[in-house]
């Protein structure tokens, strides 16, 4: 999920910032590699945290 999200986000952001540049694909790929280096650890940290918050909120609603 983080792979696809960072790939699409930085493709759009690169296009907005540069338009159709000569080396657009290479610049997109470089931006993607940097984004994925951040996105993947964030997913590893935030998904378990979101699960804990969800289960605790469900238990509060049941009571």
Under the banding of pLDDT at 50, 70 and 90, the label for residue 2 is low
Residue 57 pLDDT > 70 = yes
- What is the pLDDT, as a whole number, of residue 48? 93
pLDDT tens digits, 3-52: 787 788 888 888 898 888 888 889 888 888 888 888 888 889 999 999 99
Domain count of the chain?
Answer: 1
Fill in the DSSP letter of residue 20. Answer: S
Q: How many CB atoms lie within 10 A of CB 6?
A: 22
CB proximity list for 41: less than 8 A, separation 6 or greater:
none
CA 42/CA 45 separation, integer angstroms: 5
Domain that holds residue 30: 2-62
CA 51/CA 59 separation, integer angstroms: 12
CA 36/CA 57 separation, integer angstroms: 30
């Amino acid at each position: 999920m983080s792979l696809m999200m960072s790939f699409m986000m930085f493709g759009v952001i690169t296009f907005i910032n540069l338009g159709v540049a000569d080396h657009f694909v290479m610049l997109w790929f470089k931006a993607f590699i940097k984004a994925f280096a951040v996105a993947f650890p964030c997913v590893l940290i935030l998904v378990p945290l979101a699960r804990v918050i969800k289960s605790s909120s469900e238990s509060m609603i049941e009571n």
